[in-house]
């Protein structure tokens, strides 16, 4: 079976070169605000779903929490494992098939690490997997881009240069998905990767959460946890609890 786009792209060193500006201070600012708002107990167990190289997980652990990070990317998990300790573990794993049951107090799915899958069934199955991993009173924090703002302000083509590589990026919308094509040349070799993410609206998430057994408690529009504005907000951040179903 051919690898999916996210398996190829997230395992590539070029992914991290292109997005090098995603710095630790941004991640720490968001986590600080979430912890101040949610006030998790010090003994809380936390799950970072699609953790990448672990920047959120590592910071949560530095704040004293027991953290498990999972990601499909072998290269990202290999990198993150150097930071492991007794209360910080990383595993290569698919978010749709988590092995934990009623274990975590908080689950995080951050920085638009969702919406990759081709079918709504897979998206619901992933959310059901998140739900299963949480304790009865556990919470899910899901952070997505604000699709409406992106669709309104879509830039068809742009050029980004990082580490001497010119990344030619084009974006289009097809069948409700935002597709970003990334083409570049390095060491006389041509490369092409793609990002293909569902343009979920607020109403779409309401439906997905209901189908998977979650209830929206709160939602925000940025990492400062300001109110969500469909036309202006950069992010759509949900805090959800498990329903009794």
CATH superfamily label, 25-148+199-242: Vaccinia Virus protein VP39 (3.40.50.150)
Average pLDDT over residues 213-225: 98
**Owner of token pair 């009623």:** 102
pLDDT at position 240 is 98
Percent of residues, the chain, with pLDDT higher than 90: 81
pLDDT at position 9 is 83
Side by side, which strands form the sheet with 165-174? 157-162, 165-174, 177-186, 189-198
Average pLDDT over residues 21-35: 88
Give the span between the Cα atoms of 8 and 186, in whole angstroms.
17
Give this prediction's pTM. 0.92
Q: Which pairs count as long-range contacts for 159-166, CB under 8 Å and 24+ apart, including other chains?
A: 160/18, 162/17, 162/18, 162/20, 163/17, 163/20, 165/14, 165/17
Print burial letters for 63-93: b (CB count within 10 Å at least 16), e (below 16). eebbbbbbbbbebbbeebeebeeeebbbeeb
pLDDT at position 47 is 98
| Choice between 11 and 60, residue whose per-residue pLDDT is larger | 60
Mean pLDDT for the chain overall: 93
Average pLDDT over residues 14-34: 86
pLDDT in tens, 137-176: 999 999 999 999 999 988 789 999 999 999 999 999 999 9
> Which residues have CB under 8 Å from 124's CB, separation 6+?
208, 211, 212
Average pLDDT over residues 11-32: 85
Asked whether residue 23 carries a pLDDT value surpassing 70, the answer given is no
| Helical packing angle, 55-62 and 24-38, nearest 10° | 50
Phi, psi of 13 (to 5 degrees): -65, -25
pLDDT at position 245 is 56
Find the distance separating the first CA and the last CA of the chain, reported in whole Å. Answer: 35
Give the span between the Cα atoms of 169 and 194, in whole angstroms.
9
**Owner of token pair 């919470």:** 139
Residue 66 corresponds to which tokens in the numbers above?
A: 């027991």
Angle at 221 between CA 218 and CA 222, to 5 degrees: 115
Q: For the chain, which residues make up each domain, given as ranges?
A: 25-148+199-242
Range from 15-24, 57-66, 218-227 carrying the lowest mean pLDDT: 15-24
pLDDT in tens, 176-204: 999 999 999 999 999 999 999 999 999 99
Indicate the pLDDT class of residue 118, thresholds 50, 70 and 90: confident
pLDDT at position 20 is 74
pLDDT at position 26 is 87
């Amino acid at each position: 079976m051919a690898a999916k786009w996210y398996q190829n792209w997230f395992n590539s060193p070029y992914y991290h070169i292109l997005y090098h500006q995603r710095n630790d201070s941004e991640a720490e600012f968001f986590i600080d605000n979430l912890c101040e708002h949610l006030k998790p107990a010090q003994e809380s167990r936390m799950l970072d779903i699609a953790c990448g190289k672990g920047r959120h997980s590592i910071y949560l652990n530095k704040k004293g929490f027991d953290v498990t990070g999972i990601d499909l990317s072998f290269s990202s998990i290999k990198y993150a494992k150097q930071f492991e300790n007794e209360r910080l573990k990383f595993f290569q794993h698919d978010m749709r098939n988590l092995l934990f049951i009623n274990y975590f107090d908080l689950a995080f799915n951050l920085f638009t690490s969702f919406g990759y899958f081709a079918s709504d069934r897979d998206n619901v199955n992933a959310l059901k997997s998140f739900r299963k991993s949480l304790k009865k009173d556990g919470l899910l924090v899901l952070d997505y881009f604000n699709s409406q703002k992106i669709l309104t302000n879509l830039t068809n083509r742009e050029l980004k240069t990082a580490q001497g590589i010119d990344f030619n990026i084009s974006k289009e919308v097809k069948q409700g998905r935002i597709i970003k094509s990334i083409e570049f040349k390095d060491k006389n070799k041509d490369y092409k990767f793609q990002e293909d993410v569902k343009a979920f609206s607020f109403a779409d998430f309401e439906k997905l959460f209901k189908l998977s057994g979650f209830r929206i408690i709160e939602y925000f529009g940025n990492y400062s946890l300001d109110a969500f504005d469909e036309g202006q907000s950069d992010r759509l951040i949900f805090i959800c609890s498990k329903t009794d179903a």
